[in-house]
Structure 1
Amino acid sequence: MITREATEQDLKVLLEFEQGIVLAERPFNSTLRDGEIHYYDLLQLIKSEDSLVLVTEENNEIIASGYARVKEPGNDYSNFDRYAYLGFMYVKPEHRGKGVNKLILDELINWSKSKGLSEIRLDVYSQNESAVKAYEKAGFDSLLVTMRMKT
């Protein structure tokens, strides 16, 4: 397995991964509209100096993805002025449980540190227990739970 920066030539596969993420998240989020949804501007993320999109390949097949991007907290009360936000974490179902996500996560954390960022954040549905456990194992702590009510 190798992990490398994504290129524009990877977009077709990455767009398929994005729909895989949407499909996996639908059971956790009843507010998602039907049909195709796009969470990310993948081409912009690939081209930006303030982001890193990675893919992992095995036998010349892309099997996983993830990104980190530099963000500002959007408030004046945080004790940091920039942080790394991680997203687009996807591993093809047949490759899950092999540590592939950890490979990407480690590379994204290293990139974030190389940018001088001491704060790294990501979002995960609290009901997605396997993902929560994986991120906790990697050193992440839960910070905030978003609550909602439909009236």
Structure 2
Amino acid sequence: MITREATEQDLEILLEFEQGIVTAERPFNSTLSDGEIHYYDLLHLVKSEDSLVLVTEENNEIIASGYARIRKPENNYSNFEKYVYLGFMYVKPEHRGKGVNKLILDELISWAKSKDISEVRLDVYAQNESAVKAYEKAGFESLLVTMRMKTS
């Protein structure tokens, strides 16, 4: 297995992975609209100096992805000026449980450190217990729970 930076030539499979993420998240979020959804501007992420998109290959097949993107806090009271946001974490179902996501996480966190950024964040659905446990095992801790209600 090798992990490498994604290129424009990887966009077709990355778009498939994006729909895989949407499909996996639908059971956790009833507010997602029907049909194809695009969370990311993948071409921009691949080209941007402020982001790193990684893929993992096994036997010349791309089996996983993830990205890190430098962001500024939404508020002016954080004790950090920049943080790295992680997203687009996807592993093909037949390759899950092999530590592939951890390989990508480690590379993305190393990239954050190389940029002298110590704050790393990501979002995960609270009901996605296996993902929550995996991120906790990697050193993440819960910070905030977003709650919602429908009034009609």
Q: TM-score of the superposition, structure 1-length normalised?
A: 1.00
Question: How much does 1:74 deviate?
Answer: 1.7
Residue correspondence of structure 1 range 34-73 to structure 2 within 5 A: 34-73=34-73
For the pair 1:13 / 2:13, whether they are aligned, the reply is yes
How many pairs are equivalent?
Answer: 151
Separation (CA, whole Å) in 2 of partners of 1:122 and 1:143: 10
The CA deviation string for residues 70-104 of structure 1, in whole angstroms up to 9 with x for no partner, is 00002110000100000000000000000000000
Separation (CA, whole Å) in 2 of partners of 1:143 and 1:113: 21
Percent of pairs identical after alignment? 86
Q: TM-score of the superposition, structure 2-length normalised?
A: 0.99
Question: How much does 1:47 deviate?
Answer: 0.2
Identify unmatched segments of 5+ residues in structure 2.
none
Residue correspondence of structure 1 range 70-81 to structure 2 within 5 A: 70-81=70-81
SS of residue matched to 2:117: coil
What is the identity, as a one-letter code, of the residue corresponding to 2:144?
A: L
Separation (CA, whole Å) in 1 of partners of 2:111 and 2:143: 22
Question: How much does 1:116 deviate?
Answer: 0.7
For 2:148, the equivalent position in structure 1 comes to: 148
Residue correspondence of structure 1 range 114-129 to structure 2 within 5 A: 114-129=114-129
For 2:110, the equivalent position in structure 1 comes to: 110
Question: How much does 1:52 deviate?
Answer: 0.1
Separation (CA, whole Å) in 1 of partners of 2:7 and 2:118: 27
Separation (CA, whole Å) in 1 of partners of 2:150 and 2:5: 41
For 1:4, the equivalent position in structure 2 comes to: 4
What is the identity, as a one-letter code, of the residue corresponding to 1:51?
A: S
Divergent runs of 4+, >3 A? none
